[in-house]
Amino acid sequence: MNELKEIAQWIGGHSIHQEMLVNETLPDPSFVSNGRKYVSFSTNNYLALANHPRMVAAAKQGLDRYGVGNCESRLLGGDLEVYRELESRLAALKHKTDAVLFGTGYLTNVGVLSSLVKAGTLARIHGYRAKTRYKYVYLSDELNHISIREGIQMSGANRHNYKHRDMNHLESLLKAAEGATPIIVSDGVFSMDGTIAPLPELVALAERYGAILYIDDAHATGVLGKNGGGTSEYYNCYSPNIIQMGTLSKAFGAIGGFVAVDRDVADVIRLTSSAYGFTCPPTPDQACALIAALDLLVEEPQRRQRLWDNQRYFIAQMQPLGFKLVSTETAIVPVLIGDSELCQNYSKALRDEGIHVDSVQFPATPVGQARLRFMMNAGHSREQIDHVVGVMAEISRRL
């Protein structure tokens, strides 16, 4: 215990916790903290759906119908019609025949990636091709989300990282993986850089080398593509080899995670993943709200349009000021500052002006590449964007 106390002092955990804004209202994207109004450029509520009246009404109806929890794993008597409906709607969005719902996006990655390699064990238990030794190797983009890295680690399978979006490096690892089935894993949109994975190249390599491809579309689902279908829709690139992962806590404004896959693979995941079989799904009212979110994705496309208009407007204002933007492809627009302390000073100065932007630095980014991670939102007004751009210009003159 003393050791833990020493570490706590060393990392300054308490002061970090104290300094964090505690919100009195939801960032939609403006919010109130400690009686003061702020505008958030750090919420994943991309389409400002989290407090949409239709989502709230659907959740209330869900509460009246089902109560506040399902209180059991779906494999052990906790299944509800609403979960089945949500899964089939998510499958349709992703052009797959089935989807498997999990409690959160984090649980989805950990639960599926740790268990995919168990499919071989399951097959052997059931006597299917009992002599086959199933062997897998994970090949993962070095900038993938932590939940991917932890899921792969938990699997116990062999694993290698390839350089960010470097298809030559990936191919050399695929060549070296002979004798094992490769599972290529990539974020669809990378959360710290805002870059998009080169999906068509990934699909081509997966097909050439007989690999499974797992795409984490946490920041793409609901955002990229004409209908919010994510990275596949953005590139118009579909393949039976892709396992499509998504979260329901970002553009969809609620909580949960899922993988969309073909039905037989879904069944294997349901039977092998502890994060499905040994814990609860999102609460039933959340599932009801999420079905409403899927309706809104179709009925209110202007939200997506507004998000992209805001993103383009922000970039057009920032670039002439000489700020270096890490990428300009998605709703995540990181402004490179470089030095960690300078980046934190920017973040504090922005906060003094009523603007909340995350300062992201080592170990989340390489040393010397600290950045302000601006996350654009359909609910931002032009005045709010003008204000933040003006404040950034003023801070850069001062610092």
Closest separation in Å from C-beta 255 to ligand PMP: 7
Scored b (16 or more CB within 10 A) or e, 155-188 reads bebebbbbebbeeebbbebbeebeebbbbbbbbb
Closest separation in Å from C-beta 326 to ligand PMP: 15
CA angle 107, 74, 259 (to 5 degrees): 40
CA 194/CA 152 separation, integer angstroms: 23
**Ordered DSSP codes for 200-234:** HHHHHHHHHTT-EEEEE-TTTTTTSSTTS--HHHH
**Which residue, 120 or 257, is less far from ligand PMP as judged by CB?**
257
Confirm whether 348 is a catalytic residue: no
Instruction: Please report whether residue 194 would count as binding ligand PMP according to CB under 6 A.
Output: no
Range in contact with ligand PMP (rule: CB under 6 A) among 32-40, 119-127, 211-219, 341-349:
211-219
CA 163/CA 141 separation, integer angstroms: 6
What strands lie across the sheet with 212-216, from one edge to the other?
98-102, 257-261, 242-247, 212-216, 181-187, 136-141, 158-162
Closest separation in Å from C-beta 360 to ligand PMP: 12
**Which residue, 232 or 247, is less far from ligand PMP as judged by CB?**
247
Q: Give the DSSP H or E segment for 152.
A: helix 146-155
Q: Which of 30, 140, 155, 191 is catalytic?
A: 191
Closest separation in Å from C-beta 223 to ligand PMP: 12
Closest separation in Å from C-beta 348 to ligand PMP: 23
- Residue 388 and residue 323 in contact, taking contact as beta carbons nearer than 8 Å: no
Range in contact with ligand PMP (rule: CB under 6 A) among 214-222, 265-273, 307-315, 351-359:
214-222
**Which residue, 109 or 340, is less far from ligand PMP as judged by CB?**
109
Whole-Å CA distances, 142 to 159, 209, 232, 336, 351:
11, 20, 21, 19, 32
69: its two tokens: 């929890």
Number of residues forming the site for ligand PMP (CB under 6 A): 14
CA 113/CA 118 separation, integer angstroms: 10
Binding to ligand PMP (CB under 6 A): which residues in 52-111? 104-106, 109
| Binding residue (CB under 6 A) for ligand PMP from 28, 216, 285, 358 | 216
Confirm whether 250 is a catalytic residue: yes
**Residue 335: partners with Cβ closer than 8 Å, 6 or more residues away:** 318, 323, 324, 325, 326, 371, 372, 374, 392
Closest separation in Å from C-beta 178 to ligand PMP: 30
Cβ atoms within 10 Å of 122's Cβ, excluding its own: 14
Q: Which of 94, 118, 219, 356 is catalytic?
A: 219
| Binding residue (CB under 6 A) for ligand PMP from 147, 232, 311, 365 | 147
Instruction: Please report whether residue 249 would count as binding ligand PMP according to CB under 6 A.
Output: yes
**Which residue, 187 or 285, is less far from ligand PMP as judged by CB?**
187
| Binding residue (CB under 6 A) for ligand PMP from 33, 42, 247, 272 | 247
Closest separation in Å from C-beta 225 to ligand PMP: 17
| Binding residue (CB under 6 A) for ligand PMP from 28, 98, 187, 285 | 187
Closest separation in Å from C-beta 5 to ligand PMP: 29
Strands 242-247 and 257-261, by their bridges, are antiparallel
73: its two tokens: 């794993």
Q: Which of 94, 250, 356, 380 is catalytic?
A: 250
In a 10 Å sphere around its CB, with 0-12 CB exposed, 13-18 middle and 19+ buried, how is residue 352 labelled?
exposed
Confirm whether 219 is a catalytic residue: yes
Q: What is the DSSP letter of 362?
A: T
**Which residue, 51 or 396, is less far from ligand PMP as judged by CB?**
51
**Which residue, 138 or 323, is less far from ligand PMP as judged by CB?**
138
Whole-Å CA distances, 308 to 237, 373, 386:
21, 17, 16
Instruction: Please report whether residue 140 would count as binding ligand PMP according to CB under 6 A.
Output: no
Q: Which residues are catalytic?
A: 191, 219, 250
Binding residues for ligand PMP (CB under 6 A): 104-106, 109, 145, 147, 187, 191, 216, 218-219, 247, 249, 257
